[in-house]
Structure 1
Amino acid sequence: MTVLDTAVIARLGTDLGDPCFVRRFVATYRDMLPGRVQRVFAALETGDSDDLMDAVLSLRTSSTTVGATALAALADDVEQQVRRCDPAGARRAVRHLRGTADRTSQALEQHGAGFLQLP
């Protein structure tokens, strides 16, 4: 699975017609990503399934919006484990979360201006 589907952001830019907004949106996503990931780990550590569900849904939704396909898939996997009331499964599902978040952030930085150009 690819880390980033750049067509998603290009489509967002086309739909909105505002490349400046899309650039800010992506920058905000990147800025908030470490905190979102940390929130998943913290909720898992404390055993707060409600906060874990909220954190993982936030991560999945925001990742889907920017085309972070691998991260969205991992968040979906965690979500499914939480829904099954399987904390051990959720712990297994998050083992690649930080690394995937780092690769996603790097991919967004590398592809930045290239996929934010509007016709």
Structure 2
Amino acid sequence: MHELGIMTGVMDAVETSAKEAGATKVLKISLSVGEMTEAIEDALRFAFDVLIEGTMCEGAELEIAMVKPKSRCHECGAEYEHDRFHMLCPECGGFATELIAGRELQIDSIEVDIPDEDE
């Protein structure tokens, strides 16, 4: 289950960034995850739920945008979406293709609670 490792890295990065910003609580984390990473969304959510207990992320919302694979054909230039296994160009049948989307694994945004200095 590599999702636990992925979410551990995400949580480390989120907490480090939140603390550097002076936050006391993380409210929402938005991720983009490419289908070609073979990460399973439900497993990512499960790992998140386990890892947030007792942290500044406890109670935070997790938003995951799964990114479909998209390739560009080097022979005819067509760009097209596909599944993980069928990457041939649907326009010309070419096999010289380049994956241009679907391997993402990134934190898009973090919403945090930063207390007022007057409090």
Q: Which has the higher contact order (CA 8 A, sep 6+)?
A: 1
**TM-score normalised per structure 1:** 0.30
Q: Which of the two has higher C-alpha Rg?
A: 2
**TM-score normalised per structure 2:** 0.30
Compare the two structures and name the one with the higher helix fraction. 1
